[in-house]
Amino acid sequence: MNALYALIMVLALVIIPLLGAGAAGWHVLFGVIVPYLAFIAFVLGFIYRVVLWGRSAVPFKIPTTAGQQQSFPWIRRSRIDNPSTRAGVVVRMILEVLLFRSLFRNARVRLFREGPQLSYGSSKFLWLGALAFHVSFFVILARHMRFFTEPVPVLFNWMETLDGIMQVGVPTLFATEIVILLALAYLLLRRLIDSKLRYISLPTDYFALFLLFAIVISGVLMRYFLRVDIVDIKTLSMGLIQLQPEVPDSVGVMFYTHLFLVCSLLVYFPWSKLMHLAGVFFSPTRNLPNDNRMRRHVNPWNYPVKVHTYEEWENEYRDKLKEAGIPVEKE
């Protein structure tokens, strides 16, 4: 049911440009105004969320990470999994951001032979699917820079050549397009097939997947099936970049659909779980060094406590203590 809600919402997002840019012909609205507004909304929303996270309190450091903490010199410590230095944290963050080490640890729990025995197994598929999706998405994003730069930097040309190195068909089939479709299909089916996952999945979980699916499919359709004139599209996109918007007539409705879906993603992004793009850098179990025993971390919630030390107490009652024959530290 949750999946159905999300699917209906994405279909609604597909229909809007079909009617607006297709039937009604509001090309300036869908080609210029909506993209600008979406971009601004993305940037402002992103900054807002990051600043909000930055301002939230860190009451304590979380040392319970996988790996032996620094202890006696004869106990081997885990420098990356439980770092006590900044360098260790940097390595751990880099591995987390680029290789998703936390997902690599993903385990599956099963009841063995329906009996009382519980078994834990390694489960790498989520890690593999996530990595395949994110890498493809990044390459696809970088490839799109050919529409926003002139002359196109050679780096993007190389990425494109590498991506289409199999030289299948015309225009050349990009490997990332196949990979991202397979990865998205896996990430979606995993939620739909596993009853436990289906139970905890919310409409927003499916919405992101369906929206990405719609974006990829509209892009693939535009490139291989319902062709559009790419040079006209570049005129439009470069106009947007150089703040001199110009809307060529011949750009098809397929393009406006693709663009509108991307704009929807941009607007949705800062307010959704997709903000893990920034959130991964704010993971307390990943970005805090385990140096609790070397450096004092002060809880910002602590209010100033009025302290009365033993020394002060003794000073106050020294005479009486001596009188009563109770030993004192200072005579």
Partner 1 sequence: MYDAGKILIGLVIFLLLLTFPFWFSLGQASYESPDLQLPEDKEECIEDTEWMRKNHMQLLDDWRDTVVREGKSIYIGKGGKKYDMSLQKTCMDCHTSKEEFCDKCHNTASVDPYCWDCHVAPEEVANGQQ
Contact between 14 and 257 under an 8 Å Cβ cutoff? The reply is: yes
Binding span for partner 1 by CB under 8 A among 9-17, 19-27, 47-55, 318-326: 47-55
Binding mask 192-231 for partner 1 (x = CB under 8 A): -----------------------------------xxxxx
Cis amide bond preceding 304, omega within 30: no
Question: Which residues, other chains included, contact 222 with Cβ-Cβ below 8 Å and sequence gap of 6+?
Answer: 228, 252, 254, 255, 258
Tell me if 317 contacts partner 1 by CB under 8 A. no
Other Cβ atoms within 10 Å of 50 Cβ, number: 16
Tell me if 157 contacts partner 1 by CB under 8 A. yes
Binding span for partner 1 by CB under 8 A among 13-21, 46-54, 189-197, 204-212: 46-54
Q: Which is nearer to partner 1, 246 or 312 (CB)?
A: 246
Distance, in Å, from the CA atom of 138 to the CA atom of 142, rounded to the nearest integer, reads 6
Other Cβ atoms within 10 Å of 288 Cβ, number: 18
Tell me if 150 contacts partner 1 by CB under 8 A. yes
Q: Which is nearer to partner 1, 60 or 313 (CB)?
A: 60
Tell me if 292 contacts partner 1 by CB under 8 A. no
Q: How many residues does the chain have?
A: 331
Q: Which of 171, 276, 316, 322 binds partner 1 (CB under 8 A)?
A: 171
Other Cβ atoms within 10 Å of 186 Cβ, number: 17
Dihedral in degrees, nearest 10, Cα atoms 224, 128, 285, 294: -120
Q: Which of 19, 37, 58, 98 binds partner 1 (CB under 8 A)?
A: 58
Which SS3 state, helix, strand or coil, does residue 217 take?
helix
Tell me if 160 contacts partner 1 by CB under 8 A. yes
Q: Which is nearer to partner 1, 123 or 285 (CB)?
A: 285
Binding span for partner 1 by CB under 8 A among 6-14, 105-113, 157-165, 268-276: 157-165
Q: Which is nearer to partner 1, 249 or 331 (CB)?
A: 249
Interaction with partner 1 in 246-275: which residues (CB under 8 A)? Answer: 250
Tell me if 44 contacts partner 1 by CB under 8 A. no
Considering CB under 8 A, how many residues would be counted as binding partner 1?
40
Q: How far is the CB of 299 from partner 1 (least distance, A)?
A: 12
Tell me if 175 contacts partner 1 by CB under 8 A. no
End-to-end CA distance of the chain: 79
DSSP character at residue 290? -
Tell me if 278 contacts partner 1 by CB under 8 A. yes
Q: Which is nearer to partner 1, 209 or 286 (CB)?
A: 286
Q: Give the CA distances from residue 275 to residues 138, 141, 208, 266, in Å, rounded to whole numbers and listed in that order.
A: 15, 17, 11, 11
Q: Give the CA distances from residue 63 to residues 103, 229, 286, 294, in Å, rounded to whole numbers and listed in that order.
A: 19, 56, 10, 13
Tell me if 286 contacts partner 1 by CB under 8 A. no
DSSP character at residue 120? E
Distance, in Å, from the CA atom of 214 to the CA atom of 104, rounded to the nearest integer, reads 28
For residue 121, what are the β-bridge partners? 108
Burial environment of residue 9 by CB neighbours within 10 A (0 to 12, 13 to 18, 19 or more): middle
Tell me if 314 contacts partner 1 by CB under 8 A. no
Tell me if 47 contacts partner 1 by CB under 8 A. yes
Other Cβ atoms within 10 Å of 44 Cβ, number: 11
Q: Which of 68, 119, 122, 161 binds partner 1 (CB under 8 A)?
A: 161
- Where on the chain is the footprint of partner 1 (CB under 8 A)? 43, 46-47, 50-51, 54-55, 58, 145-146, 148-153, 156-157, 160-161, 167, 169-171, 227-232, 234-235, 238-239, 241-242, 244, 250, 278, 281
